[in-house]
């Protein structure tokens, strides 16, 4: 397993739509392992494949508290099939270091995906789990936290991020 570099906005791969996984090859299994290790090292609660430079439809998440055992979940080819209600959650993103914004999401989602063993599953989620599933699913479609902000907030965040990059990264 390896800790992969996390792509940071405005890296263009973050805007790429990922492609469906056709089979759980050794490459995909290695990607899942590396994504989990990278997510834990960051530390984060979710990570989409394009955030580490891979264009496969895969994300990992683990919302267990530090005092709880790990609860790693793997979503391959996820599809949100039902949404209910609304909530606002203060979200961060590993691709937007030191940024957290209030984001409106569905309060409950039902998602269908494949696990790393190839079994199709469906699950309902609410609270933080629902937020992370929606956030990471949007990454797989090339959508970012910025896209959920109003124009003024978006410009403020973009300006703040551009000031943090060194001159040779601009």
Q: Model-level pTM greater than 0.85? A: yes
Dump pLDDT digits (tens) for 23-81: 999 999 999 999 999 999 999 999 999 999 999 999 999 999 989 999 999 999 999 99
pLDDT, position 170 = 44
Strands of the 120-126 sheet, one edge to the other: 46-48, 58-61, 73-84, 108-114, 120-126
- 163 vs 60, more confident: 60
CA 12-15-18 angle, to 5 degrees, is: 115
* Per-residue confidence (pLDDT) for residue 119, from 0 to 100: 98
* DSSP character at residue 18: P
The tokens 């030191």 sit on which residue?
A: 98
Residue 122 pLDDT > 70, yes or no? yes
What mean pLDDT, rounded, does the chain reach?
Answer: 95
Q: Determine whether domain 12-165 maps to CATH 3.90.45.10.
A: yes
Q: Is the pLDDT of residue 166 over 50?
A: no
CA gap 123, 157 in Å, rounded: 33
Q: Where in the chain are the domains?
A: 12-165
Residues marked as catalytic: 136
Which residues partner with 41 through β-bridges? none
- The predicted-structure confidence for 33-48, as pLDDT tens digits, reads as follows 999 999 999 999 999 9
Query: Is the Cα torsion angle 25, 63, 122, 143 positive or negative in sign?
Result: negative
Beta bridge partners of 74: 60
């Amino acid at each position: 397993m390896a800790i992969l570099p996390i792509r940071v906005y405005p890296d263009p791969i973050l805007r790429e739509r990922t492609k469906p996984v056709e089979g759980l090859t050794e490459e995909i299994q290695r990607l899942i392992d590396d994504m989990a290790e990278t997510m834990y090292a960051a530390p984060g609660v979710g990570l989409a494949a394009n955030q580490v430079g891979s264009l496969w439809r895969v994300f990992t998440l683990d919302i267990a508290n530090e005092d709880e055992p790990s609860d790693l979940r793997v979503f391959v080819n996820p599809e949100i099939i039902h949404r209910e209600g609304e909530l606002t959650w203060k979200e961060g993103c590993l691709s937007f270091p030191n940024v957290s914004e209030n984001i409106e999401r569905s309060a409950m989602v039902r998602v269908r995906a494949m696990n790393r063993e190839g079994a199709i599953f469906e699950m309902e989620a609410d609270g933080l789990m629902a937020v992370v599933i929606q956030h990471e699913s949007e990454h797989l479609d090339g959508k970012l936290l910025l896209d959920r902000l109003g124009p003024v907030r978006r410009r403020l965040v973009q300006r703040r991020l551009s000031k943090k990059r060194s001159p040779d990264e601009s």
